[in-house]
Chain A
């Protein structure tokens, strides 16, 4: 008779283990997807039953087929490309500026005392409020949108960076100094690597800010090619299916980049930096 203490991972046949895996994944899909499915069902129900005007709310079928048409005609693909390019450019500029200023202020008390309250003040203003100013300075074009995106990235990135500079483990600093690390060498080999986990969190946060600022700016500055422009055009011509299709694209882009890309990067860095379980 079996004692019942056999390790299930070694005892189970390989095919059975694969079956368990498939079942586990299916269960995850159900757990995380049931509410979305319910929403789409309700959406379909109210449109199919004719309870709402189709010009106010088209059916899921119409929206998804519009989405398909927009993509196959490539027009939306070009807009998506333009938007993503602008996002990456603006974000990269903002990150570089934010990290630079963050390290500068985090390392010098005099600079920090003066600059930190200003950035904190700017961060309390929604980035989009600066768009009219950007339009006056740079024109009603893509440059203004890019500047707003970079600015929306810069503020949280600078705040995350100088915050991180103050959280470097003091024992590590002592260890580094005791081994003879000084000045730039200390900055480059100890402080900078030590703040990487916080920087990655800053990258994720600033990406989210950049994405929101970019969308808001693109809706206003319609001359520039991009998803925001399509959204505004859809409103002008009353094509509500186009508007909803673009919203879905925006949602998917945000979800994929923030959740998949950055959350994975964050997890990898935390593991590598030995922070797993510490947060």
Chain B
């Protein structure tokens, strides 16, 4: 089967920085596969997601989504942002409807799909409310519904739970697992939370910074639905931490060597 998403040797260096944000990086995502990009700040995981979304252009390399090169935001890909990014002047219902309107779908059809999407995230009872009237968790659910309503084959999530409190976060992780099992899009999930990545994913790419790159890939075949307190997940987390720690030590040593040279 053809990959849903193919990332081929993409790189990115931001102006005002001599270190690439992302060294040549490649990976694939199969249809229906849940893939996480996890790592510390500055490891290029959000940059990578931005390029997959078509909101950022890679300096070199190619991103292919559903067999087509990515040149901008496009059909088949939907994105969930860290801070929900709902339009504050619209009700939840209208927010969820927005992408369908942008695609010129007739009203009757829209209404049905919006209702389904809101039911999916358990927000049908507050469809008429405005974002400011809702909690952070509800806003993030709404932004997931807004992405799902477009029936994406590729769902991109950029640290969707990092602004939420721990309890809400756990509840939403379960929800995302359930929704993903029901709708089966390919998912690229960016997070700095190791246990969250291990819990949700089929594949976890562990990234490190300076320059941003994938340092290890984990295939996780724990059966679903999973339990957050599964000891196998804790082992995985432990291993990822060890890898990151070794990286940090290496980086510190490299910096120390450079410092000696320049002295």
A and B: bona fide binding partners: yes
- Residues of A near any B CB (own CB < 8 A): 169, 171-172, 174-182, 185, 189-190, 193-194, 196, 271-276
Q: Which A residue sits closest to B90, measured CB to CB?
A: A193
Complex Cα distance A178/B53, Å?
Answer: 7
> How distant is B132 from chain A, measured CB to nearest CB, in Å?
4
In the complex, the answer to whether B81 meets A174 with C-beta atoms within 8 Å is yes
A-B contact pairs, 20 of them (CB 8 A): A171-B81, A171-B83, A171-B85, A174-B53, A174-B79, A174-B85, A175-B81, A177-B73, A178-B53, A178-B55, A178-B79, A179-B73, A179-B78, A180-B73, A181-B98, A181-B102, A193-B89, A194-B89, A272-B88, A274-B88
Residues 22-76 (chain B) with a chain A CB within 8 angstroms: 53-55, 72-75
In the complex, the answer to whether B101 meets A274 with C-beta atoms within 8 Å is no
- List chain A residues, Cβ under 8 A from B113: none
In the complex, the answer to whether A185 meets B79 with C-beta atoms within 8 Å is no
In the complex, the answer to whether B87 meets A272 with C-beta atoms within 8 Å is no
- List chain A residues, Cβ under 8 A from B55: 174, 177-178
Complex Cα distance A193/B90, Å?
Answer: 9
Complex Cα distance A147/B215, Å?
Answer: 68
Residue from B53, B87, B146 having most chain A Cβ neighbours under 10 A? B87
Complex Cα distance A174/B90, Å?
Answer: 17
Q: Which of B88, B89, B102 lies in contact with A180, CB distance below 8 A?
A: B102
> How distant is B208 from chain A, measured CB to nearest CB, in Å?
26
- List chain A residues, Cβ under 8 A from B99: 179-180
Known: A175-B87, A194-B87. 7 other contacts (CB 8 A): A174-B85, A178-B54, A178-B77, A179-B73, A180-B75, A180-B103, A272-B130
- List chain B residues, Cβ under 8 A from A174: 53, 55, 79, 81, 85
Complex Cα distance A273/B78, Å?
Answer: 24
Is B185 in the interface zone, CB < 8 Å from A? no
In the complex, the answer to whether A179 meets B85 with C-beta atoms within 8 Å is no
- List chain B residues, Cβ under 8 A from A272: 88-89, 130, 132
Q: Which A residue sits closest to B98, measured CB to CB?
A: A179
Residues 111-134 (chain B) with a chain A CB within 8 angstroms: 130-132
Complex Cα distance A272/B88, Å?
Answer: 7
In the complex, the answer to whether A190 meets B87 with C-beta atoms within 8 Å is yes
Q: Which A residue sits closest to B130, measured CB to CB?
A: A272
Complex Cα distance A187/B53, Å?
Answer: 21
In the complex, the answer to whether A273 meets B89 with C-beta atoms within 8 Å is yes
A180-B73, A185-B102, A271-B132 known; A196-B89 Cβ under 8 A: yes
Q: Which B residue sits closest to A273, measured CB to CB?
A: B88
Q: Which B residue sits closest to A181, measured CB to CB?
A: B102
Is B157 in the interface zone, CB < 8 Å from A? no
A189-B98, A189-B101 known; A178-B89 Cβ under 8 A: no
In the complex, the answer to whether A175 meets B88 with C-beta atoms within 8 Å is no
In the complex, the answer to whether A274 meets B132 with C-beta atoms within 8 Å is yes
- List chain B residues, Cβ under 8 A from A175: 79, 81, 85, 87
- List chain A residues, Cβ under 8 A from B54: 178
- List chain B residues, Cβ under 8 A from A271: 132
- List chain A residues, Cβ under 8 A from B75: 180
Complex Cα distance A52/B206, Å?
Answer: 86
> How distant is A279 from chain B, measured CB to nearest CB, in Å?
14
Is B186 in the interface zone, CB < 8 Å from A? no
Complex Cα distance A185/B150, Å?
Answer: 18
Complex Cα distance A182/B103, Å?
Answer: 10
- List chain A residues, Cβ under 8 A from B101: 185, 189
Complex Cα distance A174/B146, Å?
Answer: 14
- List chain B residues, Cβ under 8 A from A190: 87
Residue from B55, B75, B102 having most chain A Cβ neighbours under 10 A? B102
> How distant is B101 from chain A, measured CB to nearest CB, in Å?
7
- List chain A residues, Cβ under 8 A from B88: 272-275
Complex Cα distance A174/B56, Å?
Answer: 10
Q: Which B residue sits closest to A171, measured CB to CB?
A: B85
Complex Cα distance A179/B87, Å?
Answer: 12
In the complex, the answer to whether B78 meets A178 with C-beta atoms within 8 Å is yes
- List chain B residues, Cβ under 8 A from A276: 132
B 169-188 binary contact with A (CB < 8 Å = 1; else 0): 00000000000000000000
Residue from A169, A271, A274 having most chain B Cβ neighbours under 10 A? A274
In the complex, the answer to whether B85 meets A172 with C-beta atoms within 8 Å is yes
